[in-house]
Amino acid sequence: MGGSRVSELLSAFALVCRGMVMAMGNLKLVQSGERTNAAGKPVSNRILLSIPDSEYLSIRPHLEFLTLPHHRTLHEPSQRLEFVYFPNGGLLSLVVATESGRTVEVGVVGYEGIVGTPSAVGLSRSPLREVVQIAGDAFRIRASALQSTLRSTPQLQMLLNRYAVLQGLQVAQTAACNRLHKTEQRLARWLLMVQDRMDSGLLRITHDFLAMMLGTDRPSVSLAAGILQRKQIIEYTRGTVKILNRKKLESRACECYIVIQQFHGVLGLK
C-alpha cells in the first residue's frame, strides 16, 4: 500500500472520529466510585459511568464483579460469546491467533470500553481471542441479559453501538500499523496506548509477551526497547517497563497513536 493511500485512510478515519466526538460531546460522566453493583463493588468503567441513572439501575442487578488475573483468557474464537465485560481496571487484549499458533494483538481495552462487543450488537461469535494483558477487575453481564436490558436503555445502546465502531477502527488501524511501521514505532505506540488506560508509567510486561502482542520476535522487541532505553525514554528491567519521558515517546511513535487516540478520546482517555 502506497504512502499516499495510507495518508488518505488516516484522514478518513480522523474525520469519522471528529464526527463521533461532536455527536457524543454532551455526555456527562459520573465520578469513579459513585456507582456500585448490587454487591457494593465500586464502578470505574467509563461506559457504565456515562449512562443516565435510570438506565444504570436497569443494568445494575446483572453486573457480576470478578478479578482478572494476568494472562486469563476470557474468550476463544471457537466459543460462543456468553459474557460482555466492562473492565474496571487492568488491561485486556484483542488477539488474532493463526492455525500455526502465531498471534498478534489488534486492539486493547481498558476502563474506557467493553470486551465482547459483538454481543452488544446481537452477534454470538467473534474471531478474536480476549486475553487479560495486565491484571485488574471487571464487571461482566451475560450476553442474553444485556440484550434484554438494551431494549429499555437507549443511551447505553447508543454508546455500545458507537464503541463497536470505534473498536473496529482501532483494529483496522492497528492491523495497518503492524504491517507498515517499524518495530520501534509500534512499540512506542503500544506503550502509549497502555499507559493511557493504566494511568501509570510503570508497566509490568515481558519482552516475550510484547513480541507476541506486536506479532514479531523477541530479538526485534529487545532491539527496539534498547534504542528507547539508550535515549532515556524508557527504563527496562526484568518484567517491567517504566516510561521516563512521555513526550519523547510520543515523538518516536508512528501516526497511528494519534489516530487511535482520537477514536477513544471521546470516551474519556487522555
Residue at 82 is within a domain: yes
User: Model confidence over 143-186: pLDDT tens digits?
Assistant: 999 999 999 999 999 999 989 988 888 889 888 898 899 999 99
- In tens, the pLDDT along 201-222 reads 788 887 787 887 787 888 898 8
Q: Is residue 265 part of a domain?
A: no
Question: Which of the listed residues 134, 154, 177 is the one where a domain comes to its end?
Answer: 177
Which of 122, 157, 177 delimits the end of a domain? 177
Instruction: Give the residue carrying C-alpha cell 526497547.
Output: 225
* Percent of the chain at pLDDT exceeding 90: 52
With respect to residue 261, please indicate whether it lies within any of the assigned structural domains: no
Counting the structural domains of the chain, the total is: 2
Question: Does residue 258 belong to any structural domain of this protein?
Answer: no
pLDDT digits (tens, 9 = 90+) for 73-112: 999 998 999 999 999 999 999 999 888 888 888 889 999 9
CATH number at residue 141: 2.60.120.10
Whether 141 is in a domain gets the answer yes
Indicate whether 171 and 187 sit together in one domain: no
Verify that 111 and 155 share a domain, yes or no.
yes
In the predicted structure, residue 14 carries a pLDDT above the cut 70: no
Does residue 206 sit in the same domain as residue 142?
Answer: no
Do 29 and 50 lie in a common domain?
Answer: yes
Same domain, 91 and 12: yes
Identify the band that residue 23 occupies on the pLDDT scale cut at 50, 70 and 90: very low
Asked, for residue 267, whether it belongs to a domain, the answer is no
Helix axes 154-180, 3-23, angle to 10 degrees: 160
Residue 170 has a pLDDT of 87
Contact assessment for residue 63 and residue 139, using Cβ atoms and an 8 Å cutoff: yes
Residues 201 and 169 in one domain: no
- Please tell me the predicted confidence (pLDDT) of residue 200: 76
169 and 189, same domain (yes or no): no
DSSP string for 4-17: HHHHHHHHHHHHHH
Is 259 inside any structural domain?
Answer: no
Instruction: At 242, give phi and psi (nearest 5°).
Output: -115, 125
Q: For residue 214, what is the domain's CATH number?
A: 1.10.10.10
- Angle at CA 86, nearest 5°, toward 84 and 90? 125
CA dist 182 → 215, 249, 253, 254 (Å): 12, 14, 10, 9
pTM for this entry = 0.83
Amino acid at site 213: M
Domain boundary among 142, 177, 212: 177
Residue 78 is predicted with a pLDDT of 82
- Please check whether residues 63 and 156 belong to one and the same domain: yes
Distance CA 192, CA 247 (A): 10
Residues 135 and 22 in one domain: yes
pLDDT of residue 270: 40
Cα angle value 178/183/184 (rounded, 5°): 130
For the cut 90, the answer to whether the pLDDT of residue 28 exceeds it is no
Do 86 and 216 belong to one domain? no
**Hey, what's the torsion of the CAs at 155, 157, 162, 166, to 10 degrees?**
120
Q: Are residues 13 and 110 in the same domain?
A: yes
User: Domain range for residue 75?
Assistant: 3-177
State whether 123 and 194 are in the same domain: no
**Mean of the per-residue pLDDT values for the chain?**
85
| pLDDT for the residue 20 | 45
